[in-house]
């Protein structure tokens, strides 16, 4: 009887199975779309050196702009947009530099997925047009919009989009950090259309509320693919490289956990091979990296790259993290990861204003809103913007309305964009020509319960116990500062001024009026 080398047989079988996962090979060209019609013409040259991916592997186009990648029966091919070039976008600013190959289409689901695409085309061509992209540019960043119904899509429009359309016209594009909707995937086209009215292109990361949960893992992202496009991809703008990732691990029956697939980890690894080490990398995803089961494996992919910014959402609160080796960060300087507050705040809840729009403050007291991120080469700075408020509104202050001379009075400052690298100071003044000295405040996450009750008691005393209105009080917060100040001996009205300097060197101020009354 013939003997077999078991190890060789196992190796051959593994190689056969691996190769069978990619049944076909796709080809195409990345070209200069001179006439803007999206179709490659005889006088439109191919572009060399451009990245193209199938979501797993990454190749670079040859001297004629040609590329080739393996393909299975559900593959999305996309171009990795180079700087100084743009891909086609639709009327809502959604990027369309991709092709979906799904010959049989998605199964029948509650929310329709990808329709049958038929046989693989002979050539999948990606059109690029020249663009002016300065190294210094601004980007809008939104956490969870998460509308439950059409009315909440309208709240998104009135509370945020109208402000963006008027005040943030210089932004190069926007980024949405997942939970674009709240389980009702029929709202996806409405949200993208609404955000499109801001007048800028948008890039979307996928959240746990954006998935199909009436199917298995293979088609759990199919509605997203149909409406938005790939669930993970990369692009360049100016001098920055962006990675859009989907870090929701699907579980049948509606469950999920946080982590990347092997395909995505390999895509990041392959993509970064073509990015210079000193380039700023910005990765955006929904669940904070600290929750990922594979956070160490993921963060190690950035070894030797000090310029990396991570952006996520999901928690409906705002917090800056600076991750070190304990979290798997492989470089000497800590890694900055911002968990961005939800643009819906506390799920569009709260006391309505005179226009019927809820205040929607997040559970940590941050007003719902967005951030403006300014990039300059491999440097960046972030500033928060509250919905329908002036850009100068950067903190919320609490103090008693009145105190007796010499009493100790508490003061709290919720600094929306604050972090452990911020400084917060206060001073007390009555005469603008003789301001007091600036004194540091202490960062603490939990307010004193007695101080909170004092605010509530004062409110009930003024408004009455049956008032239908809410009163804001300091709550647990990662960006809360506190001090006890001594009330002046002379009765009258005083200004409590608070100033903060953030990690980027920007200074903001807030004011509270204090009345000192004679005993």
Cα–Cα distance, 135 to 241 (Å, whole number)? 12
Cα–Cα distance, 8 to 362 (Å, whole number)? 59
Q: Which of residues 255 and 475 earns the better pLDDT score?
A: 475
Rounded average pLDDT over 190-207? 98
* Residue in 278, 339, 283, 327 with CA at minimum distance from that of residue 309: 283
Is residue 45 over pLDDT 70? yes
- Can you list the domains of the chain with their CATH numbers? 23-107+114-127 (2.60.40.10), 139-386 (3.60.21.10), 395-516 (2.60.40.10)
pLDDT-derived band of residue 23, with 50, 70 and 90 as boundaries? confident
Do 229 and 94 touch, CB atoms closer than 8 A? yes
* Residue in 105, 100, 90 with CA at minimum distance from that of residue 124: 100
Structure tokens at 329: 């960060």
DSSP secondary structure string for all residues of 131-198: ----SEEEEEEE-----SSHHHHHHHIIIIIHHHHHH-TT-SEEEEES--SSS-GGGHHHHHHHHHTT
Q: What is the pLDDT of residue 255?
A: 84
pLDDT-derived band of residue 433, with 50, 70 and 90 as boundaries? confident
Is residue 482 over pLDDT 60? yes
- Which of 140-144, 316-320, 457-461 is the least confident region? 457-461
DSSP secondary structure string for all residues of 113-137: -PPP--SPPS---EEEEE----SEE
Q: What is the pLDDT of residue 406?
A: 86
Rounded average pLDDT over 231-249? 97
Pairing of strands 126-130, 24-32: parallel
Structure tokens at 461: 């005393």
Percentage of residues in the chain with pLDDT exceeding 90?
Answer: 85
Do 412 and 481 touch, CB atoms closer than 8 A? yes
Cα–Cα distance, 284 to 204 (Å, whole number)? 9
Cα–Cα distance, 472 to 512 (Å, whole number)? 15
pTM over 0.75: yes
Percentage of residues in the chain with pLDDT exceeding 70?
Answer: 96
Is residue 102 over pLDDT 60? yes
Question: Who's near 154: CB < 8 A, 6+ residues apart?
Answer: none
Cα–Cα distance, 177 to 443 (Å, whole number)? 28
List, edge to edge, every strand of the sheet that includes 51-53: 58-60, 51-53, 75-80, 98-101
Rounded average pLDDT over 27-47? 96
Cα angle 52, 58, 59 (rounded to 5 degrees) comes to: 70
Rounded average pLDDT over 199-226? 95
Q: What is the pLDDT of residue 21?
A: 61
Structure tokens at 59: 């190749």
Residue 158 dihedral angles phi and psi, to the nearest 5°:
-75, -35
Cα angle 249, 229, 336 (rounded to 5 degrees) comes to: 55
Pairing of strands 408-415, 395-398: antiparallel
């Amino acid at each position: 009887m013939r003997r077999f080398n078991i190890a060789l047989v196992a190796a051959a079988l593994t190689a056969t199975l691996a190769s069978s996962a990619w049944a076909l090979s796709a080809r195409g060209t990345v070209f200069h779309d001179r006439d803007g019609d999206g179709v490659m013409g005889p006088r439109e040259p191919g572009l060399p050196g451009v990245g193209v991916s199938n979501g797993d592997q990454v190749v670079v186009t040859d001297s004629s702009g040609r590329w080739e990648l393996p393909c299975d029966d559900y593959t999305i091919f996309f171009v990795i947009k180079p700087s100084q070039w743009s891909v086609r976008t639709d009327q809502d600013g959604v990027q369309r530099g991709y092709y979906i190959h799904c010959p049989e289409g998605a199964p029948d689901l509650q929310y329709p997925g990808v329709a049958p695409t038929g046989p693989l085309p002979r050539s999948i061509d990606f059109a690029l047009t020249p663009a002016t992209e300065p190294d210094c540019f601004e980007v809008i960043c939104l956490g969870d919009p998460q509308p439950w119904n059409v009315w909440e899509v309208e709240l998104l429009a009135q509370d945020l989009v109208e402000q963006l359309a008027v005040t943030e016209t210089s932004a190069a594009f926007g980024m949405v950090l997942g939970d674009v909707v709240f389980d009702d995937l029929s709202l996806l086209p409405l949200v993208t259309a609404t955000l499109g009215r801001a007048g800028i292109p948008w890039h979307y990361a996928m959240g746990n509320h954006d998935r199909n949960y009436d199917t298995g893992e293979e088609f759990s992202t199919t509605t997203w693919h149909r409406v938005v496009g790939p669930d993970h991809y990369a692009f360049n703008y100016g001098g920055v490289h962006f990675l859009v990732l989907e870090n929701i691990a699907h579980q049948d029956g509606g469950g999920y956990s946080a982590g990347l697939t092997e395909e995505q980890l390999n895509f990041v690894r392959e993509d970064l091979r073509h990015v210079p080490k000193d380039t700023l990398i910005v990765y955006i995803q929904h669940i904070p990296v600290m929750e990922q089961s594979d956070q160490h494996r993921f963060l190690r992919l950035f070894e030797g790259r000090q310029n990396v910014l991570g952006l996520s959402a999901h928690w409906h609160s705002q917090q800056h993290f600076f991750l070190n080796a304990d979290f798997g960060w492989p470089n000497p300087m800590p890694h900055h990861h911002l968990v961005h507050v939800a643009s819906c705040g506390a799920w569009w809840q709260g006391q309505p204003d005179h226009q019927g729009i809820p205040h929607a403050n997040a559970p940590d007291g941050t007003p719902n809103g967005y951030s403006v991120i300014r990039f300059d080469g491999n440097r960046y700075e972030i500033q928060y913007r509250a919905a329908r408020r002036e850009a100068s509104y950067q903190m919320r202050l609490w103090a008693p309305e009145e105190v007796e001379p010499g009493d100790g009075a508490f003061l709290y400052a919720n600094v929306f964009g604050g972090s452990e690298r911020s400084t917060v100071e206060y001073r007390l003044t009555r005469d603008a020509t003789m301001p007091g000295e600036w004194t540091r405040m202490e960062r603490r996450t939990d307010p004193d319960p007695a101080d909170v009750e004092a605010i509530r008691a004062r409110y009930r005393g003024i408004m009455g116990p049956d008032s239908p209105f809410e009163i804001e009080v300091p709550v647990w917060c990662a960006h809360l500062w506190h001090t006890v100040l001594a009330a002046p001996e002379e009765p009258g009205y005083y200004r409590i001024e608070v100033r903060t300097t953030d990690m980027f060197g920007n200074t903001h101020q807030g004011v509270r009026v204090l009345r000192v009354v004679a005993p």
